């Protein structure tokens, strides 16, 4: 049975965690799971990453909200309290903007790993950024393949011996151990990197909406589902604003 890399967004509450666990367990075999931070539970809600950025800027209310949300999830899942992880978060929130922004994925993946009894592997040890904070070619950047090759080699070395693992999305680290993040929504990039590095049979990108639509359904009520798209079409759709998959 081949390797499957899976990235999940939308695990914003305990029900989301339960859903993700069911999907992962149904898959069985060699599954590597990438998680993003909790997102919005309703239109007026805040994304965890935004709360963390505000907390890094000194917003005590945002920090309180972060505690509340993670504690609620931990309690509902029977993980006891999330105090240990949250104390670590409090102590380090001022460290750097990248560090703070990445902690939503970090806590989320730690909690999910414990909930499923799977090993947690920190993305800081897997995803390598150069000193300028680059990993990939981006529209405005051209990077040699060396940086990316380094990431692939680490992913292979550290993950191949494990039957499965939970990895936080969205961030990595420089050789000096400084945390760097991808652009927003970048946990998709982590998932795709895992799939490529491990020569996975399949990369699955799960979101909290069903399928891929031809247009934004809040604007165009006649949007239709795409049954299948090519990589090129997917990239064009993402660049045009389809949010289900990051263009990179």
Interacting residues with ligand ASP (CB under 6 A): 9, 36-37, 47, 49, 104, 169-170, 184-187
Between 22 and 184, name the residue whose CB sits nearer to ligand ASP.
184
CB of 185 to ligand ASP, least distance (A): 5
Between the alpha carbon of residue 70 and those of residues 40, 66, 175, the distances in Å are 13, 6, 30
Nearest Cα to Cα of residue 66 among 80, 79, 82: 82
Between 30 and 195, name the residue whose CB sits nearer to ligand ASP.
195
CB of 102 to ligand ASP, least distance (A): 8
Contact assessment for residue 100 and residue 180, using Cβ atoms and an 8 Å cutoff: no
Q: Whose CB is nearest to ligand ASP?
A: 187
CB of 150 to ligand ASP, least distance (A): 22
Between 34 and 82, name the residue whose CB sits nearer to ligand ASP.
34
Between 164 and 181, name the residue whose CB sits nearer to ligand ASP.
181
Between 106 and 115, name the residue whose CB sits nearer to ligand ASP.
106
Nearest Cα to Cα of residue 89 among 69, 75, 114, 117: 69
CB of 90 to ligand ASP, least distance (A): 19
Name every residue whose Cβ is closer than 8 Å to that of residue 186 and which is 6 or more positions away in sequence.
169, 170, 246, 248
CB of 5 to ligand ASP, least distance (A): 15
CB of 38 to ligand ASP, least distance (A): 8
Contact assessment for residue 107 and residue 89, using Cβ atoms and an 8 Å cutoff: yes
Distance, in Å, from the CA atom of 91 to the CA atom of 176, rounded to the nearest integer, reads 20
Strand partners, 163: none
Tokens of 8: 């999940």
Between 151 and 187, name the residue whose CB sits nearer to ligand ASP.
187
Contact assessment for residue 116 and residue 110, using Cβ atoms and an 8 Å cutoff: no
């Amino acid at each position: 049975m081949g390797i499957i890399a899976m990235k999940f967004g939308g695990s914003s509450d305990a029900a989301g965690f339960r859903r993700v666990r069911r999907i992962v367990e149904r898959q069985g075999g060699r599954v590597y799971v990438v998680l993003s931070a909790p997102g919005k539970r309703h239109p007026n809600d805040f994304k965890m990453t935004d709360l963390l950025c505000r907390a890094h800027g000194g917003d005590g209310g945002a920090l309180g909200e972060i505690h509340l949300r993670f504690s609620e999830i931990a309690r509902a899942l029977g993980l006891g309290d999330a105090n240990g992880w949250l104390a670590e978060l409090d102590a380090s929130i001022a460290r750097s903007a990248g560090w703070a922004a990445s902690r939503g994925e970090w806590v989320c993946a730690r909690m999910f790993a414990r909930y499923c009894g799977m090993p947690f592997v920190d993305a800081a040890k897997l995803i390598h950024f150069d000193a300028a904070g680059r990993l990939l070619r981006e529209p405005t950047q051209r990077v040699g393949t060396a940086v990316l090759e380094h990431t692939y080699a680490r992913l292979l070395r550290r993950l191949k011996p494990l039957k499965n693992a939970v990895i936080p999305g969205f961030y990595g680290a420089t050789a000096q151990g400084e945390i760097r993040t991808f652009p927003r929504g970048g946990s998709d990039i982590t998932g795709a990197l895992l799939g490529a590095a491990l020569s996975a049979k399949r990369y699955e990108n799960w979101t909290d909406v069903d399928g891929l639509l031809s247009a934004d359904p809040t604007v165009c009520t006649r949007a239709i589902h795409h049954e299948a798209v090519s990589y090129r079409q997917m990239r064009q759709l993402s660049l045009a604003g389809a949010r289900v998959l990051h263009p990179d």
